[in-house]
């Protein structure tokens, strides 16, 4: 009998049915990966301490896997880092060297690699050579891309999935964008039920080609629009 067995008060002991394995990894059950994808804590933070080490690094929920909550949160973190707390020039120069470098030695005279590894902007390949990561590339992109203040309309929220569907008006009026619900809750201090129909303001890379490439920062509650603004009875020239 395993640890999942539990007593039935009117008969013998039964064992909890095994959960279906995840079809996309070899370490988790399908329900665990479903939870992990919807959590910035990933699969390892969505299970008990005994299983945590076994599922650590699961690709289904990793910050390197597009679409996961951890991936979205990492892109927000890196963008904020690039725009609000930029790295020192030697670290940026080293990242740019790694971005364009071919095989050969990489000089690090100011010992920046340790810090860049800690930020997960750099990793080490099988030969011990430093390699820039997707997060490192995202940092460099965020340092140079144009960001604009834009209205953001919240269309709906999914509390279970911890996401919200929004329209980033400075990007596209007719396409919904998926964002992390917890980002909106933290930045605006509103409750989830207060968000649908609300207009917010944020900074965004409005020249992004796809919805997934959009990253919102500095989200805040938009000031109230003048009466008649939305129905067209008041225009910007009045």
Q: Fill in the DSSP letter of residue 47.
A: S
Phi-psi region of 6 (alpha: psi -120 to 50; beta: other; left: phi over 0): beta
Structure tokens at 214: 């959009």
Neighbouring residues of 88: CB distance < 8 A, sequence distance ≥ 6:
112
Structure tokens at 138: 């995202």
What pLDDT does 170 receive?
Answer: 96
Are 62 and 73 within 8 A, CB to CB? no
Planar angle of CA 44, 45, 46, nearest 5 degrees: 95
Q: Which domains does the chain have, with CATH numbers?
A: 18-62 (no CATH), 73-144 (no CATH), 148-221 (2.40.50)
CA dihedral (198, 201, 202, 208) positive or negative: positive
What pLDDT does 2 receive?
Answer: 47
Structure tokens at 32: 């665990």
Are 185 and 200 within 8 A, CB to CB? no
What pLDDT does 156 receive?
Answer: 98
In which residue are the tokens 């996401």 written?
163
What pLDDT does 103 receive?
Answer: 65
Type and span of the H or E element at 140: helix 134-144
What pLDDT does 223 receive?
Answer: 84
Q: Does residue 202 sit in helix, strand or coil? A: strand
Are 167 and 202 within 8 A, CB to CB? no
What pLDDT does 12 receive?
Answer: 55
What pLDDT does 1 receive?
Answer: 41
Type and span of the H or E element at 130: strand 130-132
What pLDDT does 21 receive?
Answer: 87
The pLDDT profile of the chain, 238 residues, written as one tens digit per residue, is 444 544 555 455 545 556 788 998 888 888 888 888 898 989 888 887 777 888 888 999 899 999 999 999 999 999 999 999 999 999 999 999 999 876 667 888 889 999 999 999 999 988 888 999 999 999 999 999 999 999 999 999 999 999 999 999 999 999 999 999 999 999 999 999 999 999 999 999 999 999 999 999 999 999 876 665 555 565 545 4
Q: How far apart are CA 116 and CA 123, in angstroms?
A: 8
Phi then psi dihedrals of residue 27, to 5 deg: -115, -15
């Amino acid at each position: 009998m395993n640890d999942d067995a539990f007593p039935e008060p009117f008969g013998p002991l039964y064992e909890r049915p095994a959960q279906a394995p995840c079809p996309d990894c070899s370490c988790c059950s399908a329900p665990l990966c479903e939870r992990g994808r919807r959590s910035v804590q990933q699969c390892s933070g969505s299970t008990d301490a005994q299983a945590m080490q076994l599922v650590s690094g699961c690709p289904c929920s990793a910050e390197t896997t597009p679409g996961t909550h951890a991936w979205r949160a990492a892109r927000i973190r890196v963008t904020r880092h690039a725009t609000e707390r930029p790295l020192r020039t030697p670290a940026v120069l080293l990242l740019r060297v790694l971005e364009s470098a071919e095989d050969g030695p990489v000089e690090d005279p100011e010992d920046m690699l340790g810090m860049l590894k800690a930020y997960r902007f750099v990793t080490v390949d099988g030969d011990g050579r430093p390699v820039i990561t997707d997060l490192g590339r995202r940092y460099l992109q965020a340092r140079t891309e144009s960001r604009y203040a834009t209205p953001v309309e919240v269309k709906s929220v999914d509390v279970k999935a911890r996401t919200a569907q929004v329209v980033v008006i400075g990007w596209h009026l007719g396409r919904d964008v998926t964002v992390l619900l917890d980002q909106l809750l933290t930045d605006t201090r509103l409750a989830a039920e207060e968000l649908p129909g609300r207009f917010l303001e944020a900074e965004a890379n409005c020249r992004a080609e796809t919805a997934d490439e959009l990253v919102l920062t500095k989200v805040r509650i938009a000031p109230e629009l003048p009466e008649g603004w939305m129905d067209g009875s008041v225009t910007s020239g009045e």
